Structure 1
Amino acid sequence: MEAAADDANKIDETKKCQKCEQYRDWVMQYSPNVVFMLEQIQRAGGSVPKDKISCEICKDPKYGGFHPELGIQLCANYIPDKWVLNDTLSHELIHWYDNTRFKVDWLNLRHHACSEIRAASLSGECAIMTEFWKHAGFMRVARGHQRCVKRKAVLSVMGHPACKSKEQAEQVVDEVFRSCFNDTRPYETIYR
């Protein structure tokens, strides 16, 4: 019985990874944001080989992550569709861009917070309509984008091994928020 359950689970995981790879390939070809970020990373002197964007089964509930040496991890078991993968990949590519362009010290909480602020703001995941639909219309439009960016940056910084508390994450995000939020590179401007 256990062997059959394990086999069924492996088949399900394989299907999720294959679907994730289809989504990844589609957004890498057709998503304006993803295509733009891939071009900007190349202009900054980097490259993003497709084999460095992997679809995997993740233990922690998240959509993905970036590691400067390993690349981008997309969590096939948590990404429900290509639109979520698009936002996730856009977010992680901003980290890749920051790492290429600015030589981020990922062990430094302020550096990490800055890249998280930029990624949440520039990736589209905090766009007004995205937040509106996620929160059933209860979000106030004024400053909603900034609140979303702060919330997501704090959550990411809390996951950093050097972060000791939510309060510390909030403090670090607050310290760098203005300058990092206003830095829209490589975009000239962003729409919110």
Structure 2
Amino acid sequence: MTKRMVVGVTGASGSVYAYSLLRTLVSLDWLVEGIATPMGERVFAYECGMPVDHAEAKVHWQANDDLFSPLASGSFRTDGMVVIPCSMNTLGSMAQGSGDSLLLRAAQVTLKERRPLVVVPREMPYNIIQLENMLRLARAGAAILPASPGFYHRPEKIEDLVNHVVGRVLDQLGIEHTLYRRWNGGGPRD
């Protein structure tokens, strides 16, 4: 059976999380359908030094304005969707049920079909409107996973912090990985 994941990239800072997730999913033999907002494309290029569609050659990128895409229909089978990083603008639009772009429509399809939707907000601090939007999405079935890496695995470089967040995203999707060392209670086994 084909394993297919949708990855949405928005204009929030933190494109390195998307870059790592795309590369990890492809390395685990997942088919990846990518959607980037116009600002997501700009921020990704600025932060990662390359166009988003150069991040991983095997990702199938779809235009955010193409509502005729298969991703706009619940009959097109996927195993879920991740929006990483997720801007507060996109998060608010998702929470309101908007579907006027492919990324937003794919998120609505993911929720209505009861497939996993993982939203990775990167901005901070949150205001009450943003928190209420997160709550609304969580009540609709999304997992809200802020880009807040842990430190119990004793990270030594930025990649370790990024891998912790991406690993937690994969955990939410039930995808096995070895991106970070799991907490075991410390002590001699550490």
Q: Which has the higher strand share?
A: 2
Q: Which has the higher helix share?
A: 1
Fold match by TM threshold 0.5? no
TM-score (norm 1): 0.27
Which structure is higher in RCO with an 8 Å CA cutoff and minimum separation 6? 2
Max Rg structure: 1
